[in-house]
Amino acid sequence: MTDTAFPSRSYSDDVAVIQRDGQTVLLVGTAHISRESADLVELIIEQERPDTVCIELDEKRYNALSKPQHWEQLDLKQIIKKQQLSTLMVNLVLASYQKKLGGKLGVQPGTELLTAAKTAERHGIPMELCDRDVRITLRRAWKATSLWKKGYLVAALISSLFDETELTEEKLAELRQKDVLSELMDEVGKAMPAAKEALIDERDIFMAEKIKAAAGKRVVAVVGAGHMAGITRAMQEDNSGRMAEISTIPPVGKGWKILGWSIPVAILLSIAAIGVRQGAGEAGANILYWILANGIPSSIGAMIALAHPATIVTAFAAAPITSLTPVIGAGYVCAFVQVMTNPPVVKEFETVAADIGTLRGWWSNRLLRVFLVFLLTGFGSSIGTWIGGYKIFTSLFG
């Protein structure tokens, strides 16, 4: 490595030079579905030969890009046990959104990030993954969003799946120059400032601190264009004290824990009170009503999802029980049974990004059918909780 000034050449406006505390960072802003961005990244790394290359990826996203066979190692049962199905589903939605645009632009999403990694490896340059774990980002954004805004976020994600708007040549040219995923996140952030902080602002701080900590005095950092301004600003600040906070998922507040347990406790105490006041027969009738009110809607949800017969039976049996505990929902129990009885095959993992954009794909792809089971059985159980609870409270106070 030479000690000449860095960078040794001038580049386009997509590149910013940041100097601080003896470290010079060449910050390259890219579009995640742009061939031009991939070419620029390769050119800069080959010409500048930095001490370290930092890339806007976390370990899981890097493995997804660099190992096309990663689906074969995906353990759905473990994902369900850890209650991470919703995170996986959101990841797939975002991947599908980018892949759809990437297909129209003739380049796979994330090509420039993978190009940066391969170019660094080819020249023996150390590489650092500088983005925050995507699971932490999504969970922090979800927790920071109000109940009403959560519905908006879900609607925005779903609408992005089925958007069939034809792109003009002018629009395609514009997209080639943008970080499309960051643009989508930015649009969501305008409507939900709390979510934007987790999706964009915190990640800018996280990546800036990781870039600062990179080994060597000459660093090339490859990030989405939408992050350039935030990272440039954060590079001039000392946010090291915030890293522990923004690197963790905030614990569930005591208020929510109390609320989560208060409903099932109220149901059980009400049934007991009915037994004392009105007799065991009336209490038994209310218990039966609770079982049917929860089990029927949940099993209907499983039927709509075209679930395995064992999953349908499980939905009926599990919903009345899981509704009485906030620890695990009927959706996760049923999804686990569906995976055990009708597991997806490798081919369906490979086509899921395309299948997720069509209604037919949700029922024909067995991985997506697991998501349907998770969503519809959980929704059915929620309906049953309100119907059954209303009936029990009416019997007690009516």
Regarding pTM above 0.95, the answer is: no
- Look up tokens 């059985």; give the residue: 377
Q: What is the pLDDT of residue 185?
A: 58
Q: Which of 205, 224, 246 is the last residue of a domain?
A: 246
Cross-strand partners of 219: 25, 52
**Same domain for 123 and 211:** yes
Answer whether residue 7 is part of any domain. Answer: no
Answer whether residue 275 is part of any domain. Answer: yes
The secondary structure of residue 166, as a DSSP letter, is P
**Same domain for 107 and 83:** yes
pLDDT tens-place values along the chain, 398 residues long = 444 456 656 676 778 899 988 899 999 988 766 678 888 899 999 999 999 999 999 888 888 777 755 555 566 777 777 766 766 766 666 665 555 555 554 456 678 888 999 999 999 999 999 999 888 887 888 777 776 666 666 666 666 565 555 555 455 455 545 555 555 556 666 666 777 888 889 999 999 999 999 999 999 999 988 888 899 999 999 999 999 999 988 777 677 677 778 888 889 999 999 999 899 999 999 999 999 999 999 999 999 999 999 999 999 999 999 998 887 889 999 999 998 998 887 677 767 777 877 888 889 988 889 989 999 999 999 999 999 999 999 988 86
* Cβ–Cβ under 8 Å, residues 27 and 15: yes
- Element of type H or E holding 251: none
**Same domain for 80 and 225:** yes
Neighbours of 237 (CB within 10 A): 11
Q: What are phi and psi of 27, to 5 degrees?
A: -90, 115
**Same domain for 262 and 158:** no
CA distances, 347 to each of 14, 154, 352 (Å): 38, 27, 9
Q: Which of 202, 229, 246 is the last residue of a domain?
A: 246
**Same domain for 110 and 176:** yes
**Same domain for 174 and 83:** yes
**Same domain for 356 and 308:** yes
Coil, strand or helix: which one is 326? coil
Q: What share of the chain is helix, strand, coil (3-state, %, to 5)?
A: 70, 5, 25
Answer whether residue 329 is part of any domain. Answer: yes
**Same domain for 237 and 259:** no
Q: What is the pLDDT of residue 82?
A: 72
**Same domain for 132 and 191:** yes
In angstroms, rounded to a whole number, what is the distance separating the alpha carbons of residues 30 and 33? Answer: 9
pLDDT, tens digit, 9 for 90 and up, residues 116-170: 999 999 999 999 999 998 888 878 887 777 766 666 666 666 665 655 555 554 5
Q: Which of 246, 269, 291 is the last residue of a domain?
A: 246
Q: What is the pLDDT of residue 65?
A: 75
The closest alpha carbon to 50, from 33, 25, 22, 14, belongs to 25
The secondary structure of residue 245, as a DSSP letter, is H
- Residue 56 burial (CB < 10 Å; 0-12/13-18/19+)? buried
In angstroms, rounded to a whole number, what is the distance separating the alpha carbons of residues 71 and 87? Answer: 16
In angstroms, rounded to a whole number, what is the distance separating the alpha carbons of residues 182 and 109? Answer: 12
CA distances, 393 to each of 153, 261, 289, 381, 389 (Å): 33, 17, 12, 18, 6
**Same domain for 206 and 82:** yes
Q: What is the pLDDT of residue 215?
A: 92
The secondary structure of residue 6, as a DSSP letter, is S
**Same domain for 242 and 206:** yes
Q: What is the pLDDT of residue 384?
A: 93
In angstroms, rounded to a whole number, what is the distance separating the alpha carbons of residues 398 and 394? Answer: 5
Q: Are strands 23-30 and 15-20 parallel, antiparallel or unpaired?
A: antiparallel
Q: Residue 324 belongs to what domain range?
A: 254-397
* Cβ–Cβ under 8 Å, residues 332 and 85: yes
**Same domain for 266 and 230:** no
* Cβ–Cβ under 8 Å, residues 355 and 368: yes
Total tally of structural domains belonging to the chain: 2
Q: What is the pLDDT of residue 397?
A: 84
Q: What is the pLDDT of residue 260?
A: 75
- Element of type H or E holding 106: none
